[in-house]
Amino acid sequence: MVNIGNRLELFVDDHLIETVKGARLVLHRPREQNIALRYDKPWALTGGYVTVFKDGDLYRMYYSGRTGGSKSDDASGQHTCYAESRDGITWTEPELGLFEFGGTKKNNIVHAGDGPTCHNFSPFLDTRPGVAPGEKYKAIGGHKTTGLRVLHSPDGIRWRFADQPPIQPASPDLTRYDSQNLAFWSEHEQCYCCYFRIFVYPDGRHAGSGDGIRTIARTTSEDFVHWTEPVAMSFGDTPMEQLYINQTHPYYRAPHIYIAFPARFMKGRKILSDEEGAAFGVNHHNGVGYWQDCAETVFMTSRGGNAYDRTFMEGFVRPGLDRRNWVSRCNYAALGVVPTGPDEMSLYVNRHNQQKTAHISRFSLRTDGFSSLNAPHAGGEAVTKTLEFTGNRLVLNYATGAGGHVRVEIQDESGSPIKGYALSDADDIIGDEIERTVAWNGKPDVSALTKRSVRLRFVLKDADLYSFRFM
């Protein structure tokens, strides 16, 4: 039995599904909408890791910018830059006057002077109850020579190093941090979670610098100072892949579900010819053109603990038709998904990596629309595990074709229809809505069932069901 209370539940895994017939879980790819930001400033000619989060009515974006000089992860020619937006669509880069570059402070740099932390500066809004005002915004960053250092800010603009040890130590022999590492407060687990880069051999043993497969480890803390021994994340019965970044964070509408956008790094899979790479002006790294590999964003989830769910192995953000995106370390998603409308959410992706046209694109999805329970015109259905809930009505996020429908039956523990909530009582649900209340013979009230263990039977025809919740 699973007590879901009044939580929003998404069809991103089979956590709540007992049986399926004629239906399946399908991944939905986001649509590229507009260029949110271009890397066209002298202090940010190329970019790297990006973080986006919504802070009240303000959207904040932090991104690493490089001057185009040394590409070393700890090079001094790196900065952390800041942009903001009122709608998540149009972004401005304010002149903050904090750091000098080229003889002037007219720039949007919020962190400079320390290459390792500028390289992978990863901030978050600390939502833990009782957090000190001066630590409302936290960030982590660093490399194998420094460990993962902590920074604090009272306003998200002015940052200082915290007076505490790194949350993960320096590790000269284990390159564990040369990626975007991240942390957040988990309302679900009531602790801080940190996900960071490690290298492992196929048998799971830790590997040395660049000597193994890129993957992800996790550690937790109650106070952001004392951390548990890191544990390598598991991925179920799926093949081990090179995963660059991880971008794991609580989904803003269902914080008990962590969504993740790692980059599937296809080392040595060369798509562009040397002539194309040169024509596009792709930069070089250690004398080698940055078009020897390719990458794409994939979609994973976790419900806490040390396991990811990889129900969907397909590419989530592909390089696409634009051949400038078929270069190394391109198509990496930013950390963070944000609402940009009543029925839309957005994520942000680096495109045209290591080129003069490098930029961050905004992609959009329908709200909750990472994936769905889908059935064709022939129909299909799914029955949940035994559930307990709170609330007076059942609400669906769904879409059907003109000839399709969704119907819901509520069953008892044994799988028998409950009187008044059988499939024959269910009203047809037809249309495309983010929030639709289910009814049986025109009556939506389910409060009489809150003290019972029940199963939900979803019957679909040419339809997608993205999420449900009791309210």
Confidence check: pLDDT of 69 > 70? no
* The pair of three-digit structure tokens given for residue 69, joined into one six-digit string: 């000089």
User: What pLDDT sits at residue 165?
Assistant: 96
Nearest residue to 178 (alpha-carbon basis) of 221, 120, 128: 120
- pLDDT grade, residue 73 (50/70/90)? low
Interval 281-314: pLDDT, tens: 999 887 888 999 999 999 999 999 999 999 999 9
What is the C-alpha to C-alpha distance for residues 350 and 362, in angstroms, rounded to an integer?
9
Hey, which residues does 31 pair with through a beta bridge?
A: 364
Rounded mean pLDDT of the chain? Answer: 96
* The CATH number of domain 31-366, selected from 2.115.10.20, 3.50.50.60, 1.10.3720.10, 3.40.50.10320: 2.115.10.20
- Residue-wise pLDDT tens digits, 186-201: 999 999 999 999 999 8
CATH superfamily ID and name for 2-28+371-470 = Galactose-binding domain-like (2.60.120.260)
Tokens encoding 222: 């109650």
E-strand stretches of 86-129: 109-111, 122-125
Q: Does residue 138 carry a pLDDT above 80?
A: yes
- Whether the per-residue pLDDT at 457 is higher than 60: the answer is yes
Q: What is the mean pLDDT of residues 88-92?
A: 99
How many other CB atoms are there within 10 angstroms of residue 126's CB atom? 17
- Give CA–CA dist 374/23, Å, rounded: 6
pLDDT above 90 for 207:
no
Look at residue 470 and tell me whether its pLDDT is greater than 60.
yes
Helices and strands in the chain, H and E counts = 2, 34
DSSP state of 192: E
Q: Is the pLDDT confidence value at 216 over 60?
A: yes
Residue 70's pLDDT band, with cuts at 50, 70 and 90, is very low
What are the domain boundaries of the chain?
A: 2-28+371-470, 31-366
DSSP string for residues in 420-470: T-SGGGBPPB-SEEEEEE--BTTB---GGGTTS-BEEEEEEEEEEEEEEEE
Q: Please tell me the distance from the alpha carbon of residue 158 to that of residue 152, in angstroms, as a whole number.
A: 8
User: What does the pLDDT look like over 323-351, one tens digit per residue?
Assistant: 999 999 999 999 999 999 999 999 999 99
pLDDT of residue 202: 86
Point out the least confidently predicted range of 65-69, 108-112, 131-135, 451-455: 65-69
- What integer pLDDT is reported at residue 441 of this predicted model? 99
Question: Residue 331 is encoded by which pair of tokens?
Answer: 């198509």
φ/ψ bin of 281: left (φ > 0), alpha (ψ from -120 to 50), beta (otherwise): left
Q: Do domains 2-28+371-470 and 31-366 have the same CATH topology?
A: no
Decide which of 201 and 368 is more confident. 368
Q: Which two tokens stand for residue 469?
A: 């919740």
Place of tokens 């198509």: 331
Query: What pLDDT does residue 77 have?
Result: 84
Residue 224: which region, alpha, beta or left (left: phi > 0; alpha: psi -120 to 50)? left
pLDDT of residue 126: 99
Let me know: does 413 contact 454? Beta carbons within 8 Å: yes
- Res. 210 pLDDT band, cuts 50 70 90: low
Coil, helix or strand for 95?
A: coil
Residue 318, helix vs strand vs coil: coil
How high is the pLDDT of residue 286?
78
Rg (CA), the chain: 23
Strands 109-111 and 78-85, sheet pairing: antiparallel
